[in-house]
Amino acid sequence: MSHHSDLIATDIDAYLAEHERKELLRFLTCGSVDDGKSTLIGRLFYDSKMIYEDTLRALERDSAIHGTTGGGFDPALFTDGLKAEREQGITIDVAYRYFSTAKRKFIIADTPGHEQYTRNMATGASTCDLAIILVDARNGVVTQTRRHSFIVTLLGIKHVLVAINKMDLMGFREEVFEQIRADYKDFAARLEVSDVHFIPISALQGDNVVEPSPNMPWYRGSTLMNFLDSVYIGSDRNMEDFRFPVQYVNRPHLDFRGFCGTVASGIIRRGDEVMALPSRRTSRVKSIVTFDGDLEEAFCPQAVTLTLEDEIDISRGDMIVRPGNVPKLEQRFDAMLVWMAEQPLVTGKQYLFKQTTKLVTGTIDALRYRVDVNTLHRQEASSLRLNEIGRCAITLTEPIAFDDYRRNRVTGAFIVIDRITNGTLGAGMILARATGDQRRDHWDDAPLARTLHGQPSNVTGEERAARFGQTPVTILLTGLTGSGKSSLAYALERRLFDAGQASVVLDGQNMRLGISRDLGFTAEDRSENLRRSAEVAKLMNEAGLICIGAFVAPSEEVRQRAAQVIGAERFLVVYLSAPVEVCRRRDQRGQYAKADNGEIASFPGVSSPYEPPLTPSLTLPTHELSVEQGVDRILEMLRQRNIIH
C-alpha cells in the first residue's frame, strides 16, 4: 500500500481508529475523450503501490488483449471495468476507487469524457471537494474541457487542478504547458472559481504523478499526489447554518420518538433550541442518538437521530433548523439546471422535484436562457436537450426549505424526476438571486415620468385640523391572522365617528379586492400591498382624516418603510399580541388548517415568519381583552398624544 504503519502488526484496533480519524477528500477526474483520466488514476495507484498483486497480474494479462499501449501495461484498465469500456477504450459509467495515505483518505470518481455521458460526469461531481480536469497537451482546451469546467463551478467545487497530460508526446516542452495554461485561465476568468492549479504530467509514463519528473526540470511545483495530500479543504464545509432534513421518524415503542437523518450543515448540541419547518414549532434537543451511544454534539455529515423535549409533529421531508438561522421557505425560485434526459425539457409540464428528503410536484415555468458552454454567453431557448444547461424559473405545489446552492450544496440542490417512468431527468442548483418574474420592490422607485411635480392644496393642514378637531395620523393594527385586527379597526372607527371625529378604515382584505387585486401572498406581494396602502393612508392624512389600517404586515422592515412614506411623526403601530394558539382557535375560515396542509403558502405564523414590532406605540393582548377594552386603550393613547380632544 501507499503507506505503512507499525500499528497494523501490533494493534489493529488502534490502526483502524487512526484510519477512521483521517480527513476524507473526494475528487473526480474529468475532461474530454482520451485525455487520459482512467490512465491517470491507474498510474496513481500503480506508482503508489496500491494495486494488489492478483489485480496487477490480471491487469497485465488484460493489457495484452484490451490495452491501448501496444501490449504494454495499460493503467486505464484499472478503472474501466465494463466490457464495453474495454472494447472501445473509453469510460462510460462513473467508476469509484478508494485509497488512503498517511494523511488522508480518498474517494476518486473517474467520470466519462464523451459528451453523451456528461450526465454521468455531473453525477460523479455532485459530492466532490476537488476536480482534476485533464487536458490533452496535443489538443489544448476543447469544448468538453469548457463544458466540464462550467459544470464543476456550477456544482460548487471550490478547488480545481488542471492536469496537462501527454506532455511526453509534445517533447515535455515548457511553452506547450504555458500556452495551455494561458488559454485555460482566459476561459476560467469568466467562471466563479478562485482556487485553480496547473501541473504538467504524463499519466502513461508517470511523470509528476507520484514522483517529480526528470523530463521537466523547468517545472518546480508539486506533484499530483503531493497536491492531493496537502490541498486545504477544512473551510469548505458550512459549519454555520444548522440544517437537518428529516429522513425517517423512528418510533420503536411508546416512550421513544426520534428523527433520523444526516446533518447537512452546521453543528447541533444537546440542549440547543431548534425549530421544525414548515410548522415553525420550537423545542430543545433532548438527546443525540447513534448506534454507538449518545453524543453531546453532532456536525455534518454525521448521520444521527435527534429526540426533542416537546411532542412536535415532524414528518419525513421536514427540516430541523435553529430559530435564529432559518432557510428560505418558498414555492418559487430560480435554478441552474443540467438536463440529463434524451427527451427535452417541457415548460409547464408537471415533474417531481426531490430536494433533500422532500418530494413535491411542480413545473418549470420558463427557461430564462441557455448557456453556451464554449463562450458562456446566454442564448434564448424554449427547451433544454441532453447535456444542455440553462437557468429556469420553477414553481412547486408546496414550499420547500432551501438555501442558495453556493452556501449549502445539500439544501440548495434538487433533481427533476419523470412522474411516469420515475427516471431522473435533470439536476438543479438553486440560486439565491431574485427571479426575473418576481414582483419588484417599488418602495424606492422614482416616478417613470421625469416631468411630474407635486401640486399643493389650497387648504392647509392646520385648517383641516381645526375643522375636524384632531391631528391626522395613521394607526397600523398589526398581528397574526385571527388576532382581531379588523374587528378592532371597525369598532374604533365607530367610536371615533360617534365622538364627532373623522376617520376611515383601510382593511388589508378590502385593499386586495380593489387596488391590490393583482397581488398574492408572498413576502414581496405583502410588501407591495402595504406600500400601496401607505400611499393611500398618506393621502387620507393629508385630507385631515385619521386612518386605521388593519394588516398582518409581518415584516418589521416593511413596516418601517411604511412609516417613512406616511411620516414617522404621524405613524402609530398597535401590536395585537394574541399568540398563534389563540388565533388558531378563532380561525373560522380554516386558513391555519389550509396553511398546515400546504394549500396556502407563505402564511405568517405557519409557513413564513411574523416579526413582532420592536417599539410599538401600544401593545394589546387581545387574547385577554374584549374589543371594547381594546378600543378604550387606543382612545386613551390618542388623547395622551393630543391627537383627539
Which among 431, 453, 488 is the end of a domain?
A: 431
Say yes or no to pLDDT of 92 above 80. no
Higher-pLDDT residue of 140 and 600 is: 140
Pair 31, 158 in one domain: yes
Residue 300 backbone dihedrals phi, psi, to 5 degrees: -70, 140
Predicted pLDDT at 55: 64
Pair 568, 628 in one domain: yes
Pair 296, 258 in one domain: yes
Q: Of 191-200, 371-380, 385-394, 545-554, which one has max mean pLDDT?
A: 545-554
In a domain, 459, yes or no: no
Count of domains observed in the chain: 4
Query: What is the band of 85 on the pLDDT scale with cuts at 50, 70, 90?
Result: very low
In a domain, 415, yes or no: yes
Q: Any residues with CB less than 8 A from the CB of 435 and at least 6 apart, and which?
A: 332, 333, 334, 393
* pLDDT tens per residue, range 457-513: 888 888 988 899 999 999 999 999 999 999 999 999 999 999 999 999 999 889 988
Predicted pLDDT at 119: 59
Query: Residue 409 is part of a domain; what is its CATH number?
Result: 2.40.30.10
Pair 112, 180 in one domain: yes
Query: Residue 129 is part of a domain; what is its CATH number?
Result: 3.40.50.300
What is the grid cell recorded at 340? 440529463
Pair 110, 171 in one domain: yes
In a domain, 294, yes or no: yes
Query: What is the band of 52 on the pLDDT scale with cuts at 50, 70, 90?
Result: low
In a domain, 590, yes or no: yes
Quote the CA–CA distance of 139 and 186 in Å, as a whole number: 16
Pair 358, 298 in one domain: no
* Residue whose grid cell is 515548457: 174
In a domain, 450, yes or no: no
Predicted pLDDT at 75: 60
pTM of the prediction? Answer: 0.60
What is the grid cell recorded at 313? 409533529
Residue type, 446: A
Predicted pLDDT at 82: 38
* pLDDT tens per residue, range 101-150: 778 888 887 766 455 555 566 666 777 888 899 999 999 998 888 888 88
Predicted pLDDT at 358: 94
Pair 47, 144 in one domain: yes
In a domain, 534, yes or no: yes
37-51, 158-172, 265-279: least confident range: 37-51
* pLDDT tens per residue, range 312-370: 889 999 999 998 788 888 888 999 998 988 899 999 999 999 999 999 999 999 998 99
Which among 196, 230, 264 is the end of a domain?
A: 230
Say yes or no to pLDDT of 2 above 50. no
Task: Identify which of 360, 359, 357 has the alpha carbon closest to the alpha carbon of residue 320.
Answer: 357
Say yes or no to pLDDT of 193 above 50. yes
88-102, 138-152, 254-268: least confident range: 88-102
Predicted pLDDT at 6: 59
Pair 413, 475 in one domain: no
CA atoms within 13 A on the CB side of 543: 12
Predicted pLDDT at 618: 96
Instruction: Give the burial class of 404: count Cβ atoms within 10 A of its Cβ; 0-12 exposed, 13-18 middle, 19 or more buried.
Output: middle
Predicted pLDDT at 86: 39
Say yes or no to pLDDT of 194 above 90. no
Say yes or no to pLDDT of 157 above 80. yes
Query: What is the band of 630 on the pLDDT scale with cuts at 50, 70, 90?
Result: very high
Mean pLDDT of 245-272: 93
Higher-pLDDT residue of 303 and 116 is: 303
Query: What is the band of 448 on the pLDDT scale with cuts at 50, 70, 90?
Result: low
Mean pLDDT of 153-158: 84
Pairing of strands 350-355, 248-253: unpaired
Domain housing 116: 7-230
Pair 395, 306 in one domain: no
Predicted pLDDT at 522: 78
Predicted pLDDT at 40: 83
Mean pLDDT of the chain: 84
Pair 363, 480 in one domain: no
Higher-pLDDT residue of 353 and 234 is: 353
Q: In the chain, what is the straight-line distance between the N-terminal and C-terminal CA atoms, in Å?
A: 92
Say yes or no to pLDDT of 17 above 90. no
pLDDT cut 70: percent of the chain above it: 83
Residue type, 305: T
Kind and range of the H or E run holding 462: helix 461-468
Mean pLDDT of 624-641: 95
Which among 294, 321, 348 is the end of a domain?
A: 321
Say yes or no to pLDDT of 69 above 70. no
Say yes or no to pLDDT of 72 above 80. no
Pair 292, 200 in one domain: no
Predicted pLDDT at 84: 42
In a domain, 440, yes or no: no
Q: Of 61-65, 540-544, 610-614, which one has max mean pLDDT?
A: 540-544
DSSP 638: H
Say yes or no to pLDDT of 83 above 90. no
Pair 275, 391 in one domain: no
Query: What is the band of 53 on the pLDDT scale with cuts at 50, 70, 90?
Result: low
How many residues would you count in the chain? Answer: 645
In a domain, 454, yes or no: no
Residue 286 backbone dihedrals phi, psi, to 5 degrees: -85, -45
